[in-house]
Amino acid sequence: MPNILSHPLAQNFLAEIRDQQANRATVRHHIRALAVLLFYEATRDLPTEPVKVQTPLTETDGNYVSATVGLVPILRAGLGMVDGILEVLPDAKVYHLGIFRDEKTLEPVEYYSKLGKSTPVDIAFILDPMLATGGSASAAVGRLKSWGVKQIKFLGIFAAPEGVAKLTGEHPDVEIHLATVDRQLNDRGYIVPGFGDAGDRQFSGD
């Protein structure tokens, strides 16, 4: 089962970006904020290691995150989720995957991949505001697994039950963190009620 973000601020942000009258600045701001809230919840189990810290007064104990973290936005809609997370964890590495959904077959098509050539990160977070059919998310997970990533989590904002079922069915080891699960997909593969096309609502389009 996916982890659903229940914070009152998240519910407020969702309602505002669903509104077709919301401008791009509002949509971008709220997607950025929702990404941060999702990241907080998804990183509760990040491993840490003890360290000694010298304060202006004395030495004390502390903890540093001991895992390497990668952010993998699905182009282009996932880009809006990156910057807020980087403010929380500036040392995170960012990799890009370009995957689009064929309008006729609704199947994922990869057109760009920029993963590291060295040792993969310990934990990768796939970022995509929409988990619709689940095809792109599942393909992204497969790509990261072939690179050698051992722990993968998916962070999304809107999801359809069909997409959750596909991602869970094909990759049951991947944690799914969402702001909401909507009612269904329509015949064009869009989430209903959703909020339209995530790329257009953030960056361009009518």
Q: Which residue has the tokens 């959904």?
A: 101
Catalytic one of 18, 24, 101, 168: 101
Catalytic one of 105, 173, 183, 188: 105
Q: Is 200 a catalytic residue?
A: yes
Torsion of CA 144, 138, 176, 101, to 10 degrees: 120
User: CA–CA separation, 84 vs 35, rounded Å?
Assistant: 7
Q: Is 197 a catalytic residue?
A: yes
Structure tokens, 108: 């994922």
CA distances (Å), origin 139, targets 104, 132, 136: 18, 13, 5
Rounded to 5°, the CA angle 32-151-102 comes to 60
Contact between residue 170 and residue 138 where contact means Cβ atoms under 8 Å apart: yes
Q: Is 101 a catalytic residue?
A: yes
DSSP 104-141: TT--EEEEEEE--SSSPPSEEEEE-SEESSSHHHHHHH
Catalytic one of 24, 26, 68, 197: 197
Catalytic one of 18, 24, 26, 200: 200
User: CA–CA separation, 115 vs 113, rounded Å?
Assistant: 6
- Annotated catalytic residues are 101, 105, 197, 200
